[in-house]
Amino acid sequence: MRALLERSMELQRARDVAHLMSTGVWTHDHPLMGPELEELGLPVKIGVPAEERALMDLYPQPRGRQGSVETFPERPVVPGLPPGRDTPRRRPRETPAGRR
């Protein structure tokens, strides 16, 4: 990370920012917004170029959050036979084509 930061800021500042961003000050679920990044001295561009926006419009994303796991409030299903069945059914014998 430090090597990337050195492209846009002085060496000591790049070391400080790299240390700050990699020591758990922020967690993965805390997005750093433009003003915070500018305060750290990072070059920030706001907005999306028209070509990129046109591409993104071709693949719309769902709004809001969707659960990653579906849950059912019913009682758990125990593997085995359906309720009321004590023994498995026998499969009918297959007959050669044309014979009954």
39-79 tens-digit pLDDT: 998 888 888 999 999 999 999 888 777 667 776 677 666 67
Q: Residue 11 phi/psi, 5° resolution?
A: -55, -50
Q: Is the pTM above the cut of 0.85?
A: no
The token pair that represents 90 in the structure block: 């026998």
What pLDDT band is residue 16 in, cutting at 50, 70 and 90? Answer: very high
Cβ contacts of 92 within 8 Å, gap of 6 or more: none
So where are the chain's domains? 2-46
Q: Residue 64 phi/psi, 5° resolution?
A: 80, 180
Residues 89 and 6: their CA atoms lie apart, in Å, by 73
Specify the pLDDT at position 29.
86
The token pair that represents 18 in the structure block: 């790299």
